[in-house]
Amino acid sequence: MIDHNYVVRENCSGLQVEGLSKTWGAIPVFSDISFAQPPGTIFGVEGDNGAG
């Protein structure tokens, strides 16, 4: 079984990304994206066609 107990520290983000860019060949997919995701949450990126 998976242990779902965890400790959340104050002033701590689970994931922090700043200035992320991605290209597919010469095609820009996204540019200069920044976000922070709190600990214990789920985050996903999905395209127009539902691909992630």
pLDDT in tens, 12-48: 668 889 999 999 999 998 899 998 888 888 888 787 8
pTM above 0.75, yes or no: no
Q: Look up the domain containing 30 and give its range.
A: 13-39
pLDDT confidence of residue 8: 62
pLDDT confidence of residue 18: 94
| Residue 20 to residue 15: CA distance in whole angstroms | 13
Structural domain includes residue 4: no
Question: Is 14 in contact with 34 (CB distance < 8 Å)?
Answer: no
| Residue 40 to residue 11: CA distance in whole angstroms | 14
Structural domain includes residue 35: yes
Structural domain includes residue 1: no
Structural domain includes residue 50: no
pLDDT confidence of residue 39: 81
pLDDT confidence of residue 7: 65
Q: How many domains does the chain have?
A: 1
pLDDT confidence of residue 6: 65
Structural domain includes residue 31: yes
Structural domain includes residue 45: no
